[in-house]
């Protein structure tokens, strides 16, 4: 009996689950998310969300399993850690004290 693998699919690259920092790099380049401007950061987060939902649609369309909730959870955890890191930095504290 033949077992189908997602890696055998010609569109595997489009369906592959990627870490959020790699998807954000498509928008930000070499700039870490913590140092990006608000507009670029928002665009990076939108790109991550689009990649997750498009990947789920592709995997479902061709009959492969999808861990969309896990992908979203990892992206949210990564974004939270980035926010905490910015908040703990001297620049982040200076911005918070001005408000």
Mean of pLDDT values over 65-94: 83
Domain residue limits, the chain: 13-84
Please enumerate in sequence order all residues whose Cβ is within 8 A of that of 19, keeping only pairs 6 or more positions apart, or say none.
74, 78
pLDDT of residue 3: 60
Structure tokens given for 6: 């997602």
Average pLDDT, the chain: 80
Output the CA–CA distances (angstroms, integers) from residue 77 to 10, 53, 94, in the order listed: 31, 17, 24
Q: Which range has the worst mean pLDDT, 8-12, 25-29, 65-69?
A: 8-12
| Cα separation, 51 vs 61, whole angstroms | 15
pLDDT band at 73 (very low <50, low <70, confident <90, very high): very high
Whether the per-residue pLDDT at 76 is higher than 80: the answer is yes
pLDDT of residue 57: 84
Please enumerate in sequence order all residues whose Cβ is within 8 A of that of 18, keeping only pairs 6 or more positions apart, or say none.
51
């Amino acid at each position: 009996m033949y077992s189908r693998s997602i890696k055998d699919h010609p569109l595997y690259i489009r369906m592959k689950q990627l870490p959020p920092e790699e998807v954000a790099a498509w928008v930000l380049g070499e700039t870490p998310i913590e140092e990006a401007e608000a507009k670029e950061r928002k665009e990076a987060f939108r790109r991550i969300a689009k990649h997750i939902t498009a990947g789920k649609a592709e995997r479902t369309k061709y009959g492969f399993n999808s861990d969309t909730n896990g992908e979203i959870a990892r992206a949210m955890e990564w974004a939270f850690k980035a926010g905490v890191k910015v908040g703990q930095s001297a620049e982040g504290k200076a911005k918070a004290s001005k408000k």
